[in-house]
Amino acid sequence: MVRGQGAFTWDVDGNRYIDYVGAFGPLIVGHAHPAVVEAIHAAVDAGGSFGATTPAEVRLAELICSRMPSIERLRFVNSGTEAAMSALRVARAATGRDLVIKFEGGYHGHADSLLVEAGSGVATLSIPGSAGVAEPVAAQTLVATYNNLGSVAALLDSHAGEIAAIIVEPVAANMGVIPPEPGFLTGLRQLADGAGALLIFDEVITGFRVAPGGAQELYGVRADLTVLGKIIGGGLPVGAYGGRAELLDLVAPTGPVYQAGTLSGHPVVMAAGEATLLQLTPAVYTAIEARADRLEAGLRREGVSVARVGSLLTLFFRDKAPSNFREAKECDAISFSQFFHRMSDAGVLLPPSQFEAWFLSMAHDDAIIDATVSAASNFGMA
């Protein structure tokens, strides 16, 4: 790809596509939104990077905290991988424990201990983990089944007093979009509290996308620590982790947990993130939700299912939408591959995996949605 504008991208051969990849999530305002471009230009003109805190970093942090009340303090990093890795380090320091529970098919970046039974590209390539990860590191991560509180309770019981944290995508979006079943997130909160473990929400995908306050607002469950990325940098390299003040006080220089990054809080990234979040008014969320609903309705056909939360959705080649990773792996991946290529030929760019989410932006208007549905209908979807 060489250019993007609004809901469209162009490849090196000049072909135009309706884009549902959106850099895998952050471009909720569309490609090259004027306010974001202007903010980036102004930050570059002001000198770029300083290796010191800037007003833009403070403003963006305050904006994030105001929309996600569970985040009293936060630290910026340069990727979601860094953010998740750092959040787990804080959790281990806070609890004095080593083990972590994650969920099969959940993806939290490519830090060594989190590549166990991961989703996203790991699932697409059918890699059980990754070469180069030492067994003692992998053994620190226990794997539960998403939407199954019993599997979590069993691990907490069998490793009593050893679990530092439960880390979860509140809406699973790296095995395809799989919503939490009623009571699942509340149950995780209760189980974590009962075991003395921290609850970490990885909202790299859901944060500021499914609601102004992320999945925590949508489902009314408060996390101890939250992992953010992508969208808070307007699509530029960024991540952040935050939570209760006493937990973030454990991070140096106020505490013993070391984390640093020369380019963390880069002024250009902060400017793009602030400009993006300022566009996200209640009216924008309402409009995107309506168009996502229109797309969902248009895609529903016999033999496939559609799962959607806000402006995230996945079309599954399975009669019933899955509720966990095992069921997601039962989808007809060959049919999805054929569908992906045919849609690409028709000028619609989808995430190239059955295990990824489609991302709508405020630039996807009704005409674009209808063109997408029409393209899908031309290939046996009607």
Which ranges in the chain belong to alpha helices (H)? 34-45, 55-67, 80-95, 121-124, 135-138, 149-158, 184-195, 214-219, 245-248, 267-279, 282-299, 325-328, 333-345, 366-376
Mean pLDDT over residues 127-149, rounded?
A: 82
Query: Where are the domains positioned within the chain?
Result: 35-279
The correct CATH number of 35-279 out of 3.30.565.10, 3.30.830.10, 3.40.640.10, 3.40.50.300 is 3.40.640.10
State the pTM of this model. Answer: 0.95
- State both tokens at 248: 């973030």
Mean pLDDT over residues 54-70, rounded?
A: 97
pLDDT at position 117: 67
* pLDDT (tens digit per residue) in 315-333: 999 999 999 999 999 999 9
Q: How many CA atoms lie within 13 A of 263 on its CB side?
A: 11
pLDDT at position 113: 81
The percentage of the chain sitting over the pLDDT mark of 90, rounded to a whole number, equals 89
pLDDT at position 15: 98
Catalytic residues: 107, 202, 230
Mean pLDDT over residues 139-165, rounded?
A: 96
Phi/psi at 253 (5° precision): -90, -5
Radius of gyration of the chain (CA): 20
- Out of 19-33, 103-117, 231-245, 286-300, least confident range: 103-117
d(Cα 26, Cα 13) in Å, to the nearest integer? 25
When pLDDT is cut at 50, 70 and 90, the band that residue 306 belongs to is very high
- Res. 75: pLDDT tops 90: yes
Mean pLDDT over residues 89-110, rounded?
A: 95
297 or 115, greater pLDDT: 297
Tell me the β-bridge partners of 178: 172
* pLDDT (tens digit per residue) in 1-38: 999 999 999 999 999 999 999 999 999 999 999 999 99
User: CA angle at residue 184 from 174 to 249, to 5 degrees?
Assistant: 75
d(Cα 135, Cα 298) in Å, to the nearest integer? 46
d(Cα 143, Cα 50) in Å, to the nearest integer? 41
User: CA angle at residue 225 from 244 to 202, to 5 degrees?
Assistant: 155
d(Cα 334, Cα 156) in Å, to the nearest integer? 38
The percentage of the chain sitting over the pLDDT mark of 70, rounded to a whole number, equals 95
Provide the mean pLDDT of the chain.
94
When pLDDT is cut at 50, 70 and 90, the band that residue 114 belongs to is confident
- Res. 154: pLDDT tops 60: yes
pLDDT at position 23: 97
- Res. 128: pLDDT tops 60: no
